Structure 1
């Protein structure tokens, strides 16, 4: 017996839907006999047969397509009023339903249509399309009608099984509104469960504790079951992409194929709907802007046919979706010039941007590199909407591109939005929730270590955490609240991550972790922009859910290129918060280099005795992995002092799950005393020069420096010769 699990998913869906439609056709045709003039019934029957015919052709079921096509022709004339339904035509249509059911049974049992002779039925249906079916062109009596095919679900004994039991009887269609209502009820149950479990913990009653625990287990199981009913594979929305790519490729003159990986990865249905349009736009962008014309690809030594990869996988409680292409990539210089030309930022602001920030300008509202508006692109809408839509559902968007090699857009999306785990914190007498999807770790700094661990460098609060510098946001100050710090002087820091960067949120105290039901915000609170929703805690109190990304941007620790265009209101961002911070390092005997602090993952001082050589380059065993090293002096063409060294200073940079250690001569300072004065004077691995702390420093192009050391660092697949490590948090 052919196992259904081995069939293509689309064929299974076709079988289920067709069986249900055929059962409805049986009822509609019988009803139509009683009311032959019902245009509504005729239209519905015609649509069903038309759908079966179209899908059969798509799936290459030729026999099923042929017999459905003839039935569609008869139904079309009945629907248009050219013919009247009589007993013979109704009987022929019912026989058509049985014939389709017979073929479906063969497909389900063997994966193929099988051998069936429907020539007699086809002849009947063709003859009945005539206004006078009893007459023949030659005047001869018409031939006797062929016997109707046996119904596929006749009662043939105990050993025979209804063909529908393999698929249709194992599925059920439920209105999405019913699932939404059920989900809301489960949410209320979770809130009640949280309250009972919390109250039971304050009462010394073993029986009550046992009952509360049992309720906790049942509610969790019910919640998981309901969540599964809402989960759907991402392949459901991917299935349309090959057609989108094919049609757009014809319009744009491109040869493109689509490769998919992880199409079985599941997401909540509401999230699938939310990402459908952004995903389609990204795929269209890859065809129109990324993949080169065939002749251009051949001239560059590439295959004439371009490739778009769609990948999906679950990691860390999130679904990661990648849209990659092997096209021309994004030219940061062209992006920057277009941004200045369109007035999105000034030349001075552009000069201060890193390559990563320049590339991210494509997410600016109104940005487009197209020279003219077409039916495909050029209006400057799309990428900003992609980012906005993804962030509205608690996700993030990251763009990675290498000119000439291609681009990769990575979406990180929560599995569901209805019920999420969260950390509740208190600050200024208020309780707030932080989604655990954004949580990295919790750090408690004892009172005796505060002065040595938390520094105020040029007005910027920074936590020195395991050798790296972590910018801090004081939640009470950000929300305009009065702090209620702990009596013992301990400082609680919640380390979070957003848009690929980490920062710390200083709170008064950490309350608890619990699963929360996300409630939408009222219109009065939506405009604030710092909250993602509301929740009801276990004790019945209402708390707001913090939007980590919005907090990071408002506080200036997630400085993004789009903020430079004036998206934030002046009264919302202070001058100190707008300043960009730099790590000042020494390279060689006298070169002073400014490294954007946002690019600094950690600062390490390592023994030279631990350095090793692999494949002709320096590496070091670091934090349970292998960290490749790149000496900035060599990248910048600086002659180093050949004298012996016992220790080396390393700035660890991470992106896309890979890390590299940039070896410098010295670590000088951290400063945000940058007044915007810059110059394009520079050299290899540099983005020009800036004035930081009243001294001129060369501005490091981090991505350019890394590429100079290893051109394959940013490729979608890691180099086979070196296992790049992902540095743990």
Structure 2
């Protein structure tokens, strides 16, 4: 025992030769540098699929992979990621040297490698060992590179000039760009100057002795404060949002990978996306789409043989439309697959006790279909890498409920399924210019951007057609109603009350309604708060605000109000 102890003491001490702080710094730099590269790797690979002979795009991809390989070499435990990157880089070198075309097999292998490189980088960051299946997949992929063979002879490559310009330095940043940060710093500086001005105003001007000077200074202060707060609020709204088409650029890659994994061919069409979206909401919608897409390709869209037998085109069709309607995001995903199997879902729902046998006759089809969103629910008998564990679709439901949204399902046997997800605007603080008015003792506000005209009803020519009241405005026949009349779909005011009221003409898109109010009070900026547990949601309103006198005012949602009105119009037209 003593000998062993002496031997241990005789071992050389290497602790002074290892600079652990330097190792940590090298690792930190790698993680920061590689994060952006790995995030954009899939998009770069997909560009090659559209232009397989574009030497410029091949060089861009080569540089990204080469950077990963070079920087991970000094990170402890990074040898496997370095080996995979090396094989990735070597194949790109072969493509360039031998003038080969980037084939479908290359794209498949590159996308697989990209996913594995992200997993390896995450494992290094978390300082965890690889799972056996992860290790096995990485080794198998490296082996595939070693035995990779090109089929056929590639045409001569031509250099293609990329139309997309490189991102400017102003757009760098994680949470906000450098340009946005500088703007925020400028505004904070102006607020500081304004604060000092306010303090000096109170110290140097006596409002009793010099009331005119004090009033002028106070007016200047108020105008400057209003200007800066407007700019500050506008800047914050920009920072919170990003382009929708950038938020969901990973979906085409996901569709391709899932279809390849399941040996299916799927064509994706994405529409909308020409708007800015809240970053956190975009992330949650993207996660929802990941599970919906994988479920649709696995369960809904048939393989080529099944589709041919059913008389369908061999290529499955998947379409996703994401639109913004007054801050509410609508996601519509359609496939042309075999549709949902009602009886199979019902059988599993009964087995999982989601539906009681005695309720089967009264449960609607959509309620049955929505069982697929229950945790642990799956109709798959065999677990695969894509589905079968009963997880995923419940995440979709959870994320929609997080925003107080809704899910609807429409399906036809043999024709396909449509999922419609509605995500109301996140309840962040929003400042909106509004016009305040009163009606029957209640305070309401109308967004100033939707106010087309304000006039006394005494000068309007009124007509009653069936169960609605109308007036003329700029050669248009416009419904003239109170909020209660719109909500209850019936007239309940006598003519004297209407004549003594004020009409606020509210416009949304191509429609208009004249809202009756007792009087218009003022124009102001309101901090709009979303409805919650304390103040319940009111139909036709987007939120509420608390005024300086501590009164609560409800803010009209023009599109909701007009949607409520349109429900009555078909009845009128039918009459």
- Bigger share in helix: 2
What TM-score do the two structures reach when normalised by structure 1?
Answer: 0.40
- Bigger share in strand: 1
What TM-score do the two structures reach when normalised by structure 2?
Answer: 0.49
